[in-house]
Amino acid sequence: MRANTLIMIVLAGIFGVLAVVLINIWLAGQRNALAQSNGVQAGSIVVAAMPLKFGDTLSADKLREIAWPVGAVPTGAFKTVKEALAGSGTRQALQPISVNEPVLASKITGAGQRATLSAVLAEGMKAVSIRVNDVLGVAGFVFPGDRVDILLTRSVRSDQGADKSFVDVLLQSVKVLAVDQVADESKENPQVVKAVTVEVSTKDAQKLTLAAGAGQLSLALRQAAGSKGETTERVTLADLTGDTPDDVAKRQAELDRQKAAEEAAAAEERKRANEKIDGLAQAVDRVGSKLDQLSKVKPAVAPAPQVQEVVKEVVKYVQPEPPARATIGVFRGVKLETYDVPRQR
């Protein structure tokens, strides 16, 4: 490359930078002149020269001064870059700051401080983390800086013995400080998180700690500009079906009646089983007592057999004597004639 060409390139760069500086000076003078011509006294204010994210360290090349009406300077603004960077140690951004957005004291840390949650907390507020999942955490669409309502779902035992489930709005319009370990409000991509850190008062922090063990906490994302509270009421299972209190009472009474009938049947079955067991126990006791009695009785000795005299009867047959006379019949033709004659011996 020729030396003349190189010299021309360097001179062109120098003149270009000089032109930009002169134009900025001229524009600042024009703004001041315009402000003065309108009767408004102009001052200066420090703004961001480039986009700043949470945790970015402030430096002179990231800030610049612009003209600003004196009567409209925001609270906490800095007049000069030197004033914004004053103090021992660096300052960091506590939230995203766009180009030409005023750099306020509430948006940056103090000198030598780090960008942590403790620096973001408002006066008298506490940071409390609650456990969530992909459903309870609104599918990961909750980001730092959003406002949410915290709901508590729980079940309690009623006087009748049945469990009753309901949902209460525990806290409203609570500011989200961080999701998991990320506190950058410029985060835009949704992701499933396991914990959400919110900013609450001391009493609300106590409520959240107690509610975490009493039931299940879930989040309801609010409109970005909707920070006002609203009237809420408890939602029960009856509200899901549209039943009236009388319908719920009747259904509960029927369930109680069925439960009482089942308990009575079970008690009767247990009673019969106990009676059978008692009968078997009594029978065993009787058999045991009989065995005890038999074991105490001495065996009896049978007497010797006695000899009995056997009497034999003799039957003698005696031939009867024949009769002394006999009757003889004689037929004379067809006529029978009988004669009584002596028997011969």
How far apart CA 38 and CA 130 sit, in angstroms, is: 54
pLDDT of residue 203: 93
pLDDT of residue 282: 84
How far apart CA 29 and CA 314 sit, in angstroms, is: 179
Q: Which amino acid does the sequence have at 7?
A: I
Residues 6+ apart with CB under 8 A from 98: 48, 51
Count of Cβ atoms closer than 10 Å to residue 103 Cβ: 25
Q: What is the mean pLDDT of each run of 10 residues along the chain (345 residues)?
A: 76 84 82 60 84 84 87 86 85 84 85 72 85 70 85 79 79 85 61 81 91 87 73 78 68 84 90 87 82 71 63 65 73 74 70
C-alpha distances (whole Å) from 341 to each of 252, 321, 333 are 127, 17, 21
pLDDT of residue 41: 62
How far apart CA 154 and CA 211 sit, in angstroms, is: 9
pLDDT of residue 84: 87
b/e for 188-205, b at 16 or more Cβ within 10 A?
Answer: eeeeebeebbbbbeeebb
Residues 6+ apart with CB under 8 A from 7: none
